[in-house]
Structure 1
Amino acid sequence: MAAPMGRPVAAMPEKEEEDEKEQEAGFGSWEPSGAAPYGNFPQYSRFHPPEARIGLLPAGLLQQLFPAARAAATAPAPLLLGLDVGCNSGELSVALYRHLTAPPAAGTGPGPDLRLLCCDIDAGLVERARRACPFPGALSFVRLDIMDPAAREPALASFLARHGRRAFDLGFCMSLTMWVHLRHGDAGLRALLARLASLCRFLLVEPQPWRCYRAAARRLRRLGRRDFDHFGSLAIRGDMAQSVARILTGELGMELHSCFGTTPWDRSLLLFRATS
């Protein structure tokens, strides 16, 4: 098991300035007309490269979590299903797939058989992901607002039914919690985590720290846009990694399985496991 979560580090103004610069870099040459209100930065992977996250995840992670996923010499490994929420243009989804399905060591046979449903609210980013995906048979990219039950439930149920399943083995929620929190408030953050906890046997979460909330709100004001509706009224604030962990464990019945450390941009990668 990875090291436990460390003590929170006080946010520094210069770090918030770095967060703002990273957000601006995420637009690249695109015009930030909507100020990325959902975190839908066109060049997201340029300032948060997938390799920085993948490097924190151990080799053979799926085989550790699902011992039956180890391929035998005479039989294929059972199918595992994953859900990637907020996939942007798919670079991280592809990197996760490559890492998780790689054989843990030379001569150990093929890696796990994994299918990923990857969704994002931005239709343009989803289309880019579809066009660039090198594994179209294993990764499905769909435009989906995960906070819209009327759209969410049929899409998820259809994917699970195609594979004869009722739940996902592993879910990914990477740097999405802040955007849901800012747009849907405390109740929305809890609703997102509750739905993912009910859908996934394991859930990997990368919550944004509170200083990123301030940077996002300040950047919106600098662009002359209206502030996020819920920013001033959020009661869940401060150490967001601890808050997300508290909701998932104290309210939703999951347990913290591992903390894989923090990214270069100071975000924890937390893996939770369903207990029932």
Structure 2
Amino acid sequence: MAAPMSDSRKALENMEPAVLPGGAAPYGNFPDYSRFHPPEGRLRLLPSALLSRLFPEQREGPLLGLDVGCNSGELSTALYRHLLGLQESRSCPQGSMAGMDLRLLCCDIDSELIERAKQRSPFPDSISYITLNIMDPNTREPLLRSYLDTFGRSAFDLCFCMSVTMWIHLNHGDRGLVTFLSCLASKCTYLLVEPQPWKCYRAAARRLRKLGRNDFDHFRSLTINGDMVENITKILTNDCAMELVCCFGSTSWDRSILLFKSSRPNTCGN
């Protein structure tokens, strides 16, 4: 049974909408998001040798990762360090995990958060940040294809989707969620997903109401609801030709981290 939430933790969660510019942040684009859900809460669940386990064979060129909904880049940088076994004091990837080279393309819908990520990045040669509405195929496809073409690749090795699915679901409905997951599944070999539980949907809608704003367009019509870990697993395994490899456990804020693997050749369609 999970430990009861501390008073300080409750206070942080309760004050979040009030102290963050933009109020409810309808796309999840909270400034200073990492103050409330620090990267360490996720990294402690991921094996430090995850990359070498997933990609044990030597290969030409770097491993390519796509981080969708990267916010201002704190988690992207932390994931990069963790996966390559870099210490916090190191800003150079030389001598990293088994000599592996990892390149990350990180995207977010909020251009201000992306600019902040670019300014703060300690790895500008290895981590790229772009403003992108991942649900717009007219901009998504050329941008992702251009990045992959740079490395002579047709797909990413690993995709990160950390606490993004709810915002896609609320803003684009059931069909949008399925389309989003299908898109990611078609563009990577491995997909690491951290779905928000249904209670987070209710909390997001409640924040909008408290601010006197209109409700999310799709919230009351969502038929994919309840156990979101189960729902997203079903979509990815039944509709997207992926298999569940591992559940790494849950964060202290009650979100599971799931790893899926593609069971078909990657395609980069819409």
TM-score band w.r.t. shorter chain = 0.7 to 0.9
Relative distance call for 1:189 and 1:89 in structure 2 (3 A) is same
2:36 is matched with: 47
Could you list the per-position Cα deviations for residues 243-270 of structure 1 after superposition, in whole angstroms to 9, with x for gaps in the alignment? Answer: 0000000111100001000000000000
Q: Identity of aligned pairs, percent?
A: 60
Specify which of 7, 21, 26 is matched with residue 31 of structure 1.
21
Q: What are the ranges of 5 or more consecutive residues in structure 2 without an aligned counterpart?
A: 87-94, 265-270
Which residue identity does 2:115 align to in structure 1? E
Give distance in 1, aligned partners of 2:96 and 2:176. Answer: 44
1:181 aligns with 2:177: no
Which residue identity does 2:25 align to in structure 1? A
1:217 aligns with 2:197: no
Q: How large is the RMSD of aligned CA atoms in angstroms?
A: 2.4
Give distance in 2, aligned partners of 1:204 and 1:273. Answer: 9
Give distance in 1, aligned partners of 2:132 and 2:10. Answer: 26
Q: TM-score, normalised by structure 1?
A: 0.86
1:140 aligns with 2:132: no
C-alpha displacement at 1:79, in angstroms? Answer: 1.1
Partner secondary structure for residue 194 of structure 1: helix
Report how many residues are paired: 253
Could you list the per-position Cα deviations for residues 7-33 of structure 1 after superposition, in whole angstroms to 9, with x for gaps in the alignment? Answer: xx9xx9x99xx78952742774x4335
Specify which of 72, 77, 88 is matched with residue 71 of structure 2.
88
C-alpha displacement at 1:184, in angstroms? Answer: 0.1
Give distance in 2, aligned partners of 1:274 and 1:244. Answer: 15
Give distance in 2, aligned partners of 1:177 and 1:23. Answer: 22
Partner secondary structure for residue 182 of structure 1: helix
Relative distance call for 1:272 and 1:162 in structure 2 (3 A) is same
Could you list the per-position Cα deviations for residues 192-241 of structure 1 after superposition, in whole angstroms to 9, with x for gaps in the alignment? Answer: 00000000100000000000000000110000000000000000000001
Give distance in 1, aligned partners of 2:74 and 2:197. Answer: 22
Could you list the per-position Cα deviations for residues 154-180 of structure 1 after superposition, in whole angstroms to 9, with x for gaps in the alignment? Answer: 110000001110000000000000000
C-alpha displacement at 1:144, in angstroms? Answer: 0.2
Could you list the per-position Cα deviations for residues 76-111 of structure 1 after superposition, in whole angstroms to 9, with x for gaps in the alignment? Answer: 8741000000000000000000011127xxx99744
CA contact (8 A) 1:254 1:272 kept: yes
Partner secondary structure for residue 141 of structure 1: strand
1:4 is matched with: none
Partner secondary structure for residue 190 of structure 1: helix
Q: TM-score, normalised by structure 2?
A: 0.88
2:92 is matched with: none
1:172 is matched with: 160
CA contact (8 A) 2:12 2:36 kept: no
